[in-house]
Amino acid sequence: MAIACFCPEENRLKLKNDLLNGHIDEYGIALKLKMPAQHIRHLMSDKFEAIIGSLTE
């Protein structure tokens, strides 16, 4: 859940789209969000929204 605090959903979806289209890589996202690169894979996961949703129920 703490990862979600670094990146609002609207920004996350834009970054995910940029990642999928090759406009940025995981390291670039980590730099932009000022967070460790190992967390970016979780943040960009297709399951991220469901995981966050289950934590807030």
For residues 34 and 42, what is the distance between their CA atoms, to the nearest angstrom? 15
> What count of other Cβ atoms lies within 10 Å of the Cβ of residue 47?
9
For residues 8 and 1, what is the distance between their CA atoms, to the nearest angstrom? 12
Q: Give the structural domain span for 37.
A: 3-54
Is the Cβ–Cβ distance between 40 and 26 less than 8 Å? yes
For residues 51 and 27, what is the distance between their CA atoms, to the nearest angstrom? 23
pLDDT tens digit string along 1-57? Answer: 677 777 888 999 999 999 999 999 999 999 999 999 999 998 999 888 877 777 666
Domains contained in the chain, number: 1
Q: Which pTM value belongs to this model?
A: 0.81
The token duo for 7 is 């990146």
For residues 4 and 47, what is the distance between their CA atoms, to the nearest angstrom? 13
